[in-house]
Chain A
Amino acid sequence: MSTDAQVIDGDDARVIDVAFTRYDGPRAGRLQALWSLARWSSLRALGARRSWKAKVIPIALTLLAFAPALVILGARALFGTSSVTANLVKGLPYGNYAATVSIIILVYSVIITPELLCPDRRDRTLSLYFSTAISPGDYLAGKVLAAVLPLLLITLAPPLTLYAGNMVFAVHPLGYLFGHDRDLPRIVGSALIVTTFYALVGLAISSLTSRRAFAVGGYLAFLVVPTLIGGVLSHALNMRFLRLLALAPAPIRAGQGLFPNYSDPGNIGPWVWGATTVEVAVVAIVVLIVRYRGEQV
């Protein structure tokens, strides 16, 4: 809507027409529309513009995800360089951070992803979206971005915080930076693997129903139940490859493979976990495309 109201001037008076007029100003384009959708969807899922009750769980989980980093950095701040703090730092290498907070990542993604898709189906606002310049593909891209951004808050920000803190507390910070320069892209890479997997799987399952309760149940069942089955069967039958049924930790193991000193209890290589991660992610993408391909205005 134009902000320039129509003015009718007379000799000694004027009338300003503030009725609705067509927007003729500059248009920001598809990317801006996509970004706007992603930004507001993720903020909404985190409880923005809602009561404190909608915010408390995401905030609490975010703090829990930061807890290991804060504990280690707090100990370093209090006790300086000592054997205790050295053991603490060694006890949580960057590659293991996601595994340490894996349950937090799972619960966080279970909370966020159904909120991004289910309400639009239930409230029947999809047709409103598609009556704008946003295509179904744009909508999906925006929602994937909306899922990834909050998840990066707990997969990327905490290990980066730990890295920054370790650098600050190091005897020679610059030396630490140069000595651990490869850790930074590894941290980013593993966070992106974990985040993208959980985002895609969560969205794919949420796209199948309009009820959040069922999306949450289905998402959890899809990740947790095969993990438990794989654990039980691989132990009972002594077949280590049955552990590949563990879908929940698959991307975490794949991300750990980017770091040196990778080890797996079942001696399954990181590329195998990576392949599992990619296969499931591809299936998730296909489900999303199929679900939204037929959406029309």
Chain B
Amino acid sequence: MIGPIIRLTLRALLRQKRAIMLALIALAPAVTAGVYALARPAGANVLDFYSGIVQQLFVPTVAALIALVFGVSAFGDEREDGTILYLVATPQPRIELVIAKVAAAWVATLVLVVPSLVLTAAFALEGRLTVARLGWPLLGVVLATLAYCAAASWLSLRTRRPIIIGIIYILLWEGSIATFAASAAKLSISAYGRAFVAHALPQAARPVTGALTAAVVLVAVVAIAAWGAARALVRGELP
């Protein structure tokens, strides 16, 4: 029964102008790469630029923001207007409800960010585009957005201000504190996402850990967040 819930949630998330707004945000890195491709001076280090745009713009800001908004909205919209009751008052196991919602938010996020990443790589690297230089950052984005979606869904069930807390985490913790404190970076989802970029691009900033460890950590974040969200559905107060 996960399928119908995923389809329903995807329809709710991707309809109307808010999806257009998020699509514009998702395209920002691709547009930036396009401008760079047109205007770059001869002999410019395209790998440096590509590495910078993926590490500074794509993973920690664009992908994180979109995943946060979709992750919060997956449960949050229905919690806000009280219609979550119709979903909860069914014999579906709570963990299946959570998995369906997180999956829908994740798919919606990937629908927007994956084409943008592909375009960004194509514009920025042109002739120097390889499978590894696209594939590793893509893997990092895929896993990091899944972790963001799961964490955001958990937040939307545990607090009344999930988007604010998510923004503070992304901007203040990941965007400021974790950039100058290595130990704080270990608590940053985007740092683990960026670890995959470093696997393919030596120009990338020193990663917090290797790709395999990063994958394990991100999957663990997803599992813990999903468990927490299912628990919140069982124990928490619903509108």
On A, residues with C-beta under 8 Å from B are: 53-54, 57, 103, 106-107, 110-111, 122, 208-209, 211-214, 216-218, 220-221, 224-226, 228-229, 231-233, 235-239
The answer to whether B56 and A232 have CB atoms under 8 Å apart is yes
The answer to whether B164 and A233 have CB atoms under 8 Å apart is no
- Interfacial chain B residues near A233, Cβ < 8 Å: 32, 35-36
Q: Indicate whether B207 reaches chain A with its CB closer than 8 angstroms.
A: no
Report, nearest first, the 8 A-B pairs whose CB atoms are least far apart. A217-B69, A221-B25, A213-B163, A214-B18, A236-B49, A229-B32, A228-B57, A216-B163
In the assembled complex, the Cα of A281 lies from the Cα of B164 at a distance in Å of 24
- Interfacial chain A residues near B31, Cβ < 8 Å: 229
The answer to whether A232 and B171 have CB atoms under 8 Å apart is no
Q: Indicate whether B181 reaches chain A with its CB closer than 8 angstroms.
A: no
Listed by A's residue number, 5 A-B pairs whose Cβ atoms lie within 8 Å are: A122-B80, A213-B76, A216-B163, A217-B21, A232-B32
- Interfacial chain B residues near A216, Cβ < 8 Å: 69, 163-164, 167
In the assembled complex, the Cα of A212 lies from the Cα of B136 at a distance in Å of 34
The answer to whether A57 and B168 have CB atoms under 8 Å apart is yes
Q: A57-B161, A111-B164, A216-B164 are in contact. Are A209 and B18 (CB under 8 A)?
A: yes
Q: Indicate whether B61 reaches chain A with its CB closer than 8 angstroms.
A: yes
What's the nearest-Cβ distance from chain B to residue A113, in Å?
12
- Interfacial chain A residues near B72, Cβ < 8 Å: 213
- Interfacial chain A residues near B22, Cβ < 8 Å: 217, 221
Most buried by A among B44, B65, B164: B164
The answer to whether B21 and A211 have CB atoms under 8 Å apart is no
- A211-B73, A221-B65 known; 12 new pairs, CB 8 Å cut-off, are A57-B168, A103-B171, A107-B167, A110-B164, A122-B80, A213-B77, A217-B68, A220-B65, A220-B167, A225-B28, A236-B49, A237-B40
The answer to whether B52 and A232 have CB atoms under 8 Å apart is yes
Task: Select B44's contact among A221, A231, A236, beta carbons within 8 Å.
Answer: A236
Q: Indicate whether B42 reaches chain A with its CB closer than 8 angstroms.
A: no
- Residues 57-84 of chain B, each 1 if its beta carbon lies under 8 Å from chain A, else 0: 1000110011011001100110010000
Interface of B is mostly: helix
Contacting residues of chain B (69-107) with chain A, CB-CB under 8 angstroms: 69, 72-73, 76-77, 80
The answer to whether B21 and A214 have CB atoms under 8 Å apart is yes
Number of chain B residues close to chain A: CB under 8 A: 46
The answer to whether A232 and B160 have CB atoms under 8 Å apart is no
Closest chain B residue, CB of each to CB of A219: B167
Q: Indicate whether B134 reaches chain A with its CB closer than 8 angstroms.
A: no
Q: A236-B36, A237-B36 are in contact. Are A107 and B73 (CB under 8 A)?
A: no
The answer to whether B41 and A237 have CB atoms under 8 Å apart is yes
- Interfacial chain A residues near B25, Cβ < 8 Å: 217-218, 221, 225
Q: A111-B164, A225-B62 are in contact. Are A106 and B28 (CB under 8 A)?
A: no
- Interfacial chain B residues near A208, Cβ < 8 Å: 17, 21
- Interfacial chain A residues near B28, Cβ < 8 Å: 221, 225-226, 229
Closest chain A residue, CB of each to CB of B35: A233
Closest chain B residue, CB of each to CB of A209: B18
- Interfacial chain B residues near A111, Cβ < 8 Å: 164
Task: Select B65's contact among A217, A226, A238, beta carbons within 8 Å.
Answer: A217
Q: A103-B175, A106-B171, A220-B65 are in contact. Are A237 and B39 (CB under 8 A)?
A: yes
Q: Indicate whether B14 reaches chain A with its CB closer than 8 angstroms.
A: no
- Interfacial chain B residues near A57, Cβ < 8 Å: 161, 164-165, 168
Closest chain A residue, CB of each to CB of B39: A237
What's the nearest-Cβ distance from chain B to residue A192, in Å?
24
What's the nearest-Cβ distance from chain A to residue B71, in Å?
10
Closest chain B residue, CB of each to CB of A222: B25
Q: Indicate whether B172 reaches chain A with its CB closer than 8 angstroms.
A: yes
